[in-house]
């Protein structure tokens, strides 16, 4: 079960012609797919398009009604390969993933489908994870579009434009026999807005029709000599067809005035940011009225030579607002103008930053600079924006405000794995740790500071494969269950078995693809009506030939330390795998908490555990925090006026996972931790024993109180 349920929201996917659709960008894209008559959809989750996968999963009923097949693909490569269905048949299909990491994984299949060309419209919806909030390396999807020759759509970030572009994308794909990528930036994926809906369209030609009447066309297979023919087709037929379609359907837009000697060329996705910048500079209003000519590229690849030249020819200078690097658009525009012998000056990365997100402030500064150079009369009175704080205040803030990186959630079962690793390192010395993608990558941050590299999803163990030599210190690699099924099974485990690796892999098995939003995977323990779950990782790796494997409950830090130490020191050669198993606490609490509360109201006996720290015995060293990092384990003022350092304190978010207690035992920390079991709806026996204990304990405590009272200093 995914972290977020869209069960309620997906009902809006049924809206008919003319109704107003309100909701998140991702949901709107799904609606547009249904309006376009797709036959199949698939993809792999990952921010910012995780919700698209969740919406599709929750909409399965509606999809089935419309004869649409939904595939929760094993990886982006699997999803991209699914587009093969559109090569021979007039079937529309869409796949989605996080870019550029997902596009990297998918690029083998993408290159093939781009070479073959498609008959039915093939749309790849990529969530461009770039800029603030991104968790990956900063690259551009643009490069993939160029190298494989897929068209790249970058619509203006409002639901009407986005959904229109989905529909047009399919048409463009069919008109030019080329797969099309639709790029959505992080915040566009999650923008809440509205658009006018249309009726859903049931595909005319169905998957079943293709399976029952298969068509073979040798020309569409990527194998000599067809592949050489494809390359010619790409430039001689598909490209011109695409250019015609884009021009005729006016996919790119012209805004603003027509007479100025300067203009701005902008990626569609940045249009709103640009307009806000112009509004702040007093050069546009909030309806988009402006005298400055704007050429808005909703299609960023391919460029239309005629449109670009036409826009530039009467201008002295243009500014290209293009996010990310290298500056492909700027280069292409320069080439077009040079070939047409147009001398318009092209600005872009000389006035805007070479790298980094183009936020409102950045675009404001860049546009201001451009206009100061080419239309100074416009910006004389322009507002200076930005922080009005004096420099020394800025400096104080910079020193005061700490970073707040993401971290493991309260009660997370992955945390104790790294606690154990940190403690084992104290005994065995530092260990080279190769990380993977997933929540467990937070191990590289404080307080754990464990991990050397991360090479990609499921590539944790391969990332350490060079270190396979005679030594006294083995390496440890990390992989999540998500990464294991995505790629790690073959690239990691199979690779290690085949190459007789002598090192250690820790598979963190929390039952979900947790970092992407808690989607089910093969080894999930949950029931799933439409997918096959409960296929244990232990069996899979045994099948691959792993002979040394141990399964440890992550919360048992002592056992984890012993197992890690054994793996590090055993004379036995060969790959060693430790499966660290415990359910993702976020998912578990979401499921269990309502049930627990229900039982309590029903009058059933429930014991709820939570932890605490005695501020009397805590001396404020915070060793526990450095070994745990749990958000609910925090600090507060020391109640002892003589002591200066704050004491540890467990706040009320504690879910009672028990890691603090385990840590203080395993690391021999201090006697301050206690576990409190709160009994709800106690039985008669509970009450009886409690009263009896209370009598004895109370008697002794009163005696002690009296004795202390004899030495009272009074109360201040």
Partner 1 sequence: MATLSRDKPINIAIIAMGGQGGGVLSKWILNLADSQGYIAQYTSVPGVAQRTGATIYYIELFPAHLAEQAGKKPILALTPVPGDVDIVIASEMIEAGRALMRGFVDGNTSFIASNHRDYAIFEKQEMGDGRRPVDEINSLAQETAREFICFNMDAAARSVGSVISSVLFGALAGSGALPFKRADFEATIAASKKAVQANLKGFELGFETATEEQVTNNSPVEKPEPAQTYATTVAKLMVRMECEFPPHAHFYIREGLKKLVDFENTDYATLYLDRLAQIYKTDKQTGGSGKKWRLTTESARYLALAMAYDDVMRVADLKTRSDRFDRFRNEVKAEPDQIVHVSEFMHPRLEEIAEILPIRLGQFMLSSKAVRKISGLFFNKGRRISTTKLGGFVLLYAMGRMSWLRGYSLRLLRENQRIESWLVAIEDAAQRDYALAIEIAGLQRLIKGYGDTHARGLHRYSVIMNVYDKIKDGADAAEAIARLKAAALKDEEGVAFAEALYTIVGDGTQPSTNLHV
- Site mask, partner 1, residues 108-147, x = CB under 8 A? ------------------------xxxx------------
Q: How far apart are the C-alpha atoms of 390 and 428, rounded to whole Å?
A: 51
* Closest approach of partner 1 to the CB of residue 507, in Å: 20
Stretch that binds partner 1, among 343-351, 384-392, 503-511, 561-569 (CB under 8 A): 384-392
Should residue 383 be labelled a site residue for partner 1 when binding is judged by CB under 8 A? yes
Region 14-33 residues binding partner 1, contact defined as CB under 8 A = 22
Under the binding rule (CB under 8 A), the answer on residue 674 touching partner 1 is yes
Question: Alpha helices, DSSP H only, in 219-327?
Answer: 226-233, 239-248, 271-280, 305-312
7 binds partner 1 (CB under 8 A): no
The Cα-based distances of 84 to 121, 122, 134, 151, 244 in angstroms read: 11, 9, 30, 17, 25
CA distances in angstroms from 318 to 261, 295, 307, 333, 667, listed in the order given: 9, 10, 14, 10, 64
Asked if residue 711 binds partner 1 (CB under 8 A), the reply is: yes
Site string for partner 1, 592-631 (x = CB under 8 A): ------------------x-x-xxxx-xxxxx-xx--x-x
Q: Which of 515, 567, 577, 659 binds partner 1 (CB under 8 A)?
A: 515
User: Which residues within the stretch 154-173 sit at the binding site for partner 1 (CB under 8 A)?
Assistant: 157-158, 160
Q: Is 405 in the site for partner 1 (CB under 8 A)?
A: yes
Among 64-72, 143-151, 218-226, 282-290, the segment contacting partner 1 (CB under 8 A): 282-290
Binding of partner 1 by 419 (CB under 8 A): no
| 418 lines the binding site for partner 1 (CB under 8 A) | no
* The token pair that represents 229 in the structure block: 């023919």
Binding track, positions 550-589, relative to partner 1; x by CB under 8 A: --------x-------------------------------
In the set 14, 206, 276, 432, which binds partner 1 (CB under 8 A)? 276
394 touches partner 1 (CB under 8 A): yes
User: What is the DSSP annotation of 312-356?
Assistant: HTT-SEEEEE--SSS-HHHHHHHHHHHHTT---EEESTTTS-SSS
CB-nearer residue toward partner 1: 537 or 647: 647
The CA angle 361-362-365, to the nearest 5 degrees, is 85
Q: Is the peptide bond before 48 cis (omega within 30 degrees of 0)?
A: yes
96 binds partner 1 (CB under 8 A): no
Residue 212 near partner 1 by CB under 8 A: no
Beta bridge partners, 265, equal 295, 320
**Quick check: 545 and 489 in contact, CB under 8 A?**
no
Counting contacts by CB under 8 A, is residue 480 touching partner 1?
Answer: no
How far is Cα 337 from Cα 346, in angstroms, rounded to an integer?
9
- Choosing from 288, 310, 356, 536, the residue that interacts with partner 1 (CB under 8 A) is 288
Calculate helix-pair angle for 159-176, 239-248, nearest 10 degrees: 140
Q: Using CB under 8 A, which of the segments 366-374, 504-512, 520-528, 674-682 binds partner 1?
A: 674-682
Q: With contacts defined by CB under 8 A, how many residues of the chain interact with partner 1?
A: 145
Examine residue 361 and tell whether it contacts partner 1 (CB under 8 A). Answer: yes
Residue 425 contacts partner 1 per CB under 8 A: yes
> Which among 109-117, 241-249, 422-430, 494-502 is the span making contact with partner 1, rule CB under 8 A?
422-430
Residue 235 exposed, middle or buried by CB count within 10 Å (0-12, 13-18, 19+): exposed
8 A C-beta contact, residue 121 and residue 171: yes
Under the criterion CB under 8 A, does residue 220 sit at the interface with partner 1? no
Cβ-based neighbour number of residue 533 at 10 Å: 14
Query: What separation in angstroms does the CA of 427 have from each of 287, 421, 555, 558, 653?
Result: 65, 10, 20, 14, 33
Residue 715, classified by CB atoms within 10 Å of its CB into exposed (0-12), middle (13-18) or buried (19+), is exposed
Touching partner 1, residues 41-60 (CB under 8 A): 46-48, 50-51
CB closer to partner 1 out of 221 and 445: 445
Q: What is the token pair recorded at 273?
A: 């940011």
Of the pair 468, 634, the CB lying nearest partner 1 is at 634
- State the residue for tokens 């770039």: 130
Identified binder of partner 1 from the candidate list 426, 469, 529, 603, rule CB under 8 A: 426
The least CB distance from residue 470 to partner 1, in Å, is 25
Of 370, 371, 352, which is closest to residue 361 (Cα–Cα)?
352
CA 382 to centroid of chain Cα atoms: 38
708 binds partner 1 (CB under 8 A): yes
CA separation for the pair 89, 119 (Å, rounded): 6
* 673 touches partner 1 by CB under 8 A: yes
- Binder of partner 1 out of 447, 460, 463, 480 (CB under 8 A): 447
């Amino acid at each position: 079960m995914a972290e977020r349920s869209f069960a309620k929201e997906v009902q809006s996917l049924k809206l008919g012609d003319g109704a107003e659709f309100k909701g998140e960008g991702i949901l709107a894209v799904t609606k547009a797919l249904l309006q376009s008559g797709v036959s199949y959809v698939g993809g792999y989750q990952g921010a910012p398009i995780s919700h698209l996968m969740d919406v599709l999963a929750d909409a399965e009923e509606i999809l089935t009604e419309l004869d649409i097949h939904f595939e929760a693909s094993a990886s982006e490569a699997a999803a991209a390969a699914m587009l093969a269905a559109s090569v021979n048949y007039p079937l529309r299909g869409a796949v989605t993933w996080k870019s550029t990491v997902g596009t990297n994984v998918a690029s083998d299949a993408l290159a093939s489908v781009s070479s073959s060309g498609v008959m039915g419209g093939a749309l790849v919806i990529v969530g461009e994870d770039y800029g603030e909030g991104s968790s990956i390396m900063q690259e551009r999807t643009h490069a993939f579009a160029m190298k494989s020759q897929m068209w790249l759509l970058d619509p203006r970030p409002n639901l009407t434009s986005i959904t229109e572009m989905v529909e047009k994308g399919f048409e463009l794909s069919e008109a030019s026999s080329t797969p099309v990528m639709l790029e959505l930036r992080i915040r566009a994926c999650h923008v809440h807005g509205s658009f006018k809906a249309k009726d859903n369209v049931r595909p005319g030609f169905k998957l079943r029709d293709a399976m029952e009447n298969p068509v073979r066309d040798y020309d569409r297979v990527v194998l000599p000599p067809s592949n050489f023919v494809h390359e010619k087709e790409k430039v001689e037929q598909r490209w011109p067809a695409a250019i015609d379609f884009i021009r005729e359907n006016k996919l790119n837009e012209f805004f603003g005035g027509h007479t100025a000697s300067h203009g701005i060329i902008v990626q569609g996705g940045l249009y709103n940011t640009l307009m806000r910048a112009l509004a702040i500079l007093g050069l546009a209003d909030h309806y988009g009225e402006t005298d400055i000519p704007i050429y808005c590229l909703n299609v960023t690849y391919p460029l239309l030579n005629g449109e670009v030249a036409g826009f530039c020819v009467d201008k002295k200078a243009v500014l290209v607002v293009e996010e990310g690097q290298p500056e492909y658009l700027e280069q292409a525009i320069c080439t077009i103008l040079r070939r047409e012998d147009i001398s318009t000056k092209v600005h872009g990365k000389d006035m805007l930053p070479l790298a980094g997100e183009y936020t409102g402030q950045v675009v404001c500064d860049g546009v201001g600079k451009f206009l100061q150079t080419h239309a100074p009369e416009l910006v004389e009175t322009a507002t200076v924006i930005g922080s009005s704080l004096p420099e020394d205040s800025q400096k104080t803030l910079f020193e005061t405000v700490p970073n707040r990186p993401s971290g493991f959630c309260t009660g997370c079962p992955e945390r104790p794995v790294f606690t154990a690793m940190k403690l084992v390192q104290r005994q065995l010395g530092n260990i080279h740790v190769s990380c993977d993608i997933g929540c467990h990558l937070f191990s590289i941050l404080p307080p754990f500071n464990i991990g050397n590299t991360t090479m990609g999803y499921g590539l944790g163990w391969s990332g350490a494969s060079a270190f396979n030599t005679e030594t006294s210190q083995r390496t440890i690699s990390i992989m999540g269950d998500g990464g294991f099924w995505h790629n790690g099974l073959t690239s990691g485990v199979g690779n290690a078995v085949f190459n007789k690796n002598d090192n250690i892999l820790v598979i963190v098995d929390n039952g979900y693809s947790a970092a992407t939003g808690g989607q089910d995977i093969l080894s999930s323990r949950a029931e799933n009506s439409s997918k096959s779950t409960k296929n244990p990782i232990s069996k899979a790796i045994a099948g691959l030939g792993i002979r040394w494997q141990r399964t440890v409950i992550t919360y048992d830090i002592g056992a984890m330390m012993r197992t890690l130490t054994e793996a590090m020191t055993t004379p036995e050669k060969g790959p060693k795998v430790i499966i660290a198993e415990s359910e993702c606490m976020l998912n578990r609490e979401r499921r269990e908490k309502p049930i627990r509360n229900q039982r309590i109201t029903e009058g059933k006996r429930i014991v709820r555990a939570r932890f605490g720290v005695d501020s009397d015995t805590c001396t404020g060293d915070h060793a526990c925090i450095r070994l745990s990092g749990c958000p609910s384990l925090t600090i507060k003022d020391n109640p002892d006026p003589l002591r200066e350092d704050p004491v540890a304190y467990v706040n009320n978010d504690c879910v009672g996972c028990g890691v603090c207690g385990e840590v203080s035992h395993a690391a021999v920390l201090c006697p301050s931790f206690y576990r409190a079991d709160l009994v709800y709806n106690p039985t008669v026996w509970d009450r009886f024993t409690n009263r009896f204990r209370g009598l004895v304990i109370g008697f002794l405590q009163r005696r002690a109180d009296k004795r202390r009272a004899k030495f009272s200093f009074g109360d201040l």
